Structure 1
Amino acid sequence: MTKDAFMSAFTFESFKCEVSFNGIVDPYTGDKTKELVLRNNNENFRAAYLYGEGLKEISREKSGEKNNILGEFIGIEKNGLNSMMSFFKKYGFLFPLNSYEQFVTFQIDDVDYIKDNLEALINIFNAQDTDNINYKSLLDSVLFLLLNEKKDIIIEDNICYSSSNNDLLHNIVNANKIRFDNKDNVVQIPRTDGGTIPAYRVKDYLLDEGINEVIIDEYEDLMQNDDYSLSFLKQIVKSYTIKKEAIFNEHECLIIDFLYHFSRRISIITLDNVSLDMPFQEAVYEMFTTGKNSDLKQALLKISKYLIEKELNHFLSEIKPKYDANTMRPNWNLPSLLSAMYLSLFYLDSNQAMHRVCQNINCHQLFLVSKTNQVKKYCCVYCTNAVSQRRYRQKK
């Protein structure tokens, strides 16, 4: 057993793989795309989670070069075929391939999908237990995990990846319009001219008062509006008025209230462009961080903690503890490299550490660092030396 393995929280063993690609043509559109072609080779791969350093390969003797599995995976460029192939040749594939006798194919878009979900969770972790929150990154990542359509990913008819369920989004999208006839919680709000305005009282988990009043005429006007951009807003408002604990749990009720007030106060949300870089104007984030929206910020932080728990519990569900009598130490039965990445987040103490972006302009990969360490700016010795050499050349 190596020194690294002895000092680790867990170890993971697998195989490296051969990687190439196919060029394919969509028979309906004629669009040309590429897909990965992979299979295991006979080279063993061993990794360990080292406290304070993260998930690293432990069989390699070279020092100074990049050895940061989670950061390098997140650093793969979108649709970046070369960087994907390089990563999988170096560390093996995300899922075990030993049960397949021949090469298997995997869609590049599916790698991006998996990576984006993991990156969103890391961004949310980075916002915990800190006074310096990047609210743009936090808001975009929370909305991405809440509103991104979930899917299963398959290798030769076998499901290798299943997203955490998104029943909340399904229930919002399919919420029914409320009928206000004979509703006990319809109230009359006095007007300045002596008349009244009918409103519907809704239990609100975000407001301090615990109650909000939805003007019925405004509700009906919105439901009759044919503007496509308001489609998701309509469903949010429907869900807001009908939400009951029998349908939504307390966390989901808070999420619906957050989406309702965010859409009403700050910006309409659509499902067409959900991403880790939401298409909001900069003014949206500035408005979100103002003092009058402090209740939205507090709700966002509560929702982020709920998502950490939900995502981790889902992706750790197949991991089982085991005891190694040869080393007389506990370990985990990890089904895949991806599960090892999620388990590395399980061990992350957000009070003490965070993932920081490497300041080398040619890298920008994440690396694990202590929150109190303001000096470390580069992910590895290679990047440190590259920046030093670049500065030296610029001075000359």
Structure 2
Amino acid sequence: MKYDVLSLSGNIFVFENQQCDCLIDIAHDQRGAEQKSLRLKGTDNIIRYAYMPKEGLVRVNPKTGSVESGNVLAELLAVRCDDLDSMLKFFTNNGFFIPISREVYEKYEIYEVSSIFRRIQYTVEILTLLQAQRKNYMDILSKVCWLIFMNPITLKSVNYNDPLFETCVHSIHNYLSSAANADEDNSVFQQTDPYDPNIGIYRIPDSVRPPYNDIENIEYDMEMSEPEWDGMPGMPAPPSVWDYHSLMFMYKNFIDIPKSDRKVIEFFYHMRKAVGRLEKITLDGRLVFNSSDESVRKNIDDQLKNALLEVAKITVKEEIDYSLYGVTPSYDIESMTPSWTIPNLITGLFFSLFYLRPNMEAYRRCANISCNQYFLVNTTNSKRKYCCPECANAMAQRMLRKRKKEASSQE
């Protein structure tokens, strides 16, 4: 079915991107280990995109306005971040994330590029996980931590002095930076423990474990005088957000801040207390604690689970809002309709997430084990398992052959 996309109006946006040539640059370090990077150069050919209700972001023919390819965000979700060919195929079809030079091949590290793919994928997956009837809290936690704590990525081009895109730096990092030079907030006064008059406490208002939580002043003073630096690989230099010293300072002193920011600080403070030290976040999003995964699961109680769901929503909002800073409204005087200026492909991808309705739509992976594609489905249509009739038929044939083989083996 063909759509005259360019004639549609409403909440549709249209933008363009340049095609690119893709090369793999292979070098070797001093030990002879192979190191690969991407070399990309823009071409004069233009790719046009449009966002269509119920269809998502699609590639369209600039001359006819017909759809040339289906949902581009679903195409990105199918990219394997450990498969360079998979990433190159996406760039060949869609161009690079940002405008690049047409004169020279620009170099981009695979780690940086794969991190961009993973950041968008995890944002979408969190939206899907939040809608699931049975929540996978460990999966939600790992993706939230990856988005918040992994080092930010900056995409540049030789044609521009300033970066064309920067990944989100979440609000908790701003408080972390200010905590290093902040003074104690005297709004939380030292009190006497009502159960033991010999113990002084700080009574902290708390929305995760309401209505308040008590910290003994001796514990607080000792932690402030002897900080424990975590120094996690793959995270900013200490103090890190998972450092108990920093978390305790923010938890005790940053009270009168926006509720969403406060919720994030409270959640990670209680997580650090309940499950212990987070040793590492792997590139593929796995969390490594100083205790077993089973122990971590047992210590995440209902209060922490409920708080995690709120923090996940806050994280997605910050991720999408931050990535839309380049979008600006404009008015098309020729068609007399509202429109948007989209500066690059990555912003367009995040803008398509902006229009996604998680309570009604979700991205689902095709149930055909030979297919890695995703498709946009109405959440009320829980029975749809395949991205296309061909995949449904292929799996039906596979199951038929399996049943025949099992029947013949029993004869």
Q: Give the TM-score category using the shorter length.
A: 0.7 to 0.9
Distance 1:100 1:381 in 2: 40
Count of aligned positions:
384
Task: List gaps (5 residues or longer) in structure 1.
Answer: none
CA contact (8 A) 2:191 2:202 kept: yes
Bigger mean CA deviation after superposition, 84-93 or 297-306: 297-306
Map 1:1-396; keep pairs closer than 5 Å.
2-6=3-7, 9-26=12-29, 31-59=33-61, 67-97=70-100, 99-128=101-130, 131-156=133-158, 158-166=162-170, 168-169=172-173, 171-172=175-176, 175=179, 185-189=189-193, 196-209=198-211, 211-220=212-221, 222=223, 224=226, 232-245=243-256, 248-270=257-279, 273=282, 276-279=285-288, 281-283=292-294, 286-287=297-298, 293-324=301-332, 329-394=337-402, 395=404
Shift of 1:310: 2.0
Question: C-alpha distance in 2, partners of 1:219/1:378?
Answer: 55
Note if contact 2:368-2:386 (Cα within 8 Å) is conserved in structure 1.
yes
| CA contact 2:16–2:48 (8 Å) conserved in 1 | yes
Does the 8 A contact of 2:326 with 2:343 survive in 1?
Answer: yes
TM superposition shift of 1:217: 3.2
Do the aligned residues in 1 keep the contact of 2:281 with 2:288 (CA within 8 Å)? no
**What TM-score comes out, normalization by structure 1 length?**
0.82
1:3 Cα offset (Å): 2.6
CA distance 1:228–1:260, change in 2 (3 Å): closer
Q: Structure 1 residues 392, 318: closer, same or farther in 2, change over 3 A?
A: same
Amino acid at match of 2:285: L
Aligned twin of 2:239:
none
Q: CA deviation at 1:272?
A: 5.3
Give the deviation of 1:86 after TM superposition: 1.1
Equivalent-residue separation in structure 2 for 1:178 and 1:45 (angstroms): 49
Retained in 1: the 8 A contact 2:148–2:169?
A: no
Cα distance change, pair 127–7 in 1 and its aligned pair in 2 (3 A): farther
Q: Give the deviation of 1:91 after TM superposition.
A: 1.6
| Whole-Å separation in 1 of the counterparts to 2:143 and 2:24 | 31
* Percent of residue pairs bearing the same amino acid type: 27
The structure 1 segments of at least 4 consecutive aligned residues displaced by more than 6 Å after TM superposition are 177-180
SS of corresponding position for 2:193: strand
Residue 196 of structure 1 aligns to a residue whose secondary structure is coil
Change (3 A) 1:142 1:227: closer
Q: Which amino acid aligns with 1:19?
A: C
C-alpha contact (below 8 Å) 1:22/1:34 kept by paired residues: yes
State the alpha-carbon separation in 1 of the partners of residues 183 and 50 from structure 2: 58
Three-state SS of the structure 1 residue aligned to 2:248 is: helix
Q: 1:15 to 1:149 in 2, by over 3 A?
A: closer
Say if 1:185 and 1:89 are closer, same or farther in 2 by CA, change over 3 A. Answer: same
SS in 1 for 2:399: helix
Gaps of 5+ in 2: 233-241, 406-411
Distance in 2 of aligned mates of 1:325 and 1:177: 51
For 2:229 and 2:162, how far apart are their aligned partners in 1?
41
**8 Å Cα contact 1:150/1:166 also seen in 2:** no
* Other structure's SS at 2:326 match: coil
1:267, 1:284 within 8 Å by CA — same for their partners in 2? no
Structure 2 length-normalised TM = 0.80
Residues 11-45 of structure 1, C-alpha deviations (whole Å, 9 max, x = no match): 23223222111112346x65421111122334432
Is 2:202–2:216's contact at 8 Å kept on the other side of the alignment? yes
Q: How far 1:212 moved relative to its partner?
A: 1.5
Structure 1 254/388 Cα, relative in aligned 2: closer, same or farther at 3 Å?
Answer: same
Q: Which has the higher contact order (CA 8 A, sep 6+)?
A: 1
- TM-superposed CA distance for 1:95, in Å, is 1.3
Structure 1 distance, partners of 2:395, 2:355, is 31
Question: In 2, distance between residues paired with 1:215 and 1:233?
Answer: 15
SS of residue matched to 2:386 = coil
C-alpha change, 1:4 and 1:388, in structure 2 (3 Å) is farther
Change (3 A) 1:332 1:284: farther
CA distance in 2, matches of 1:74, 1:125: 13
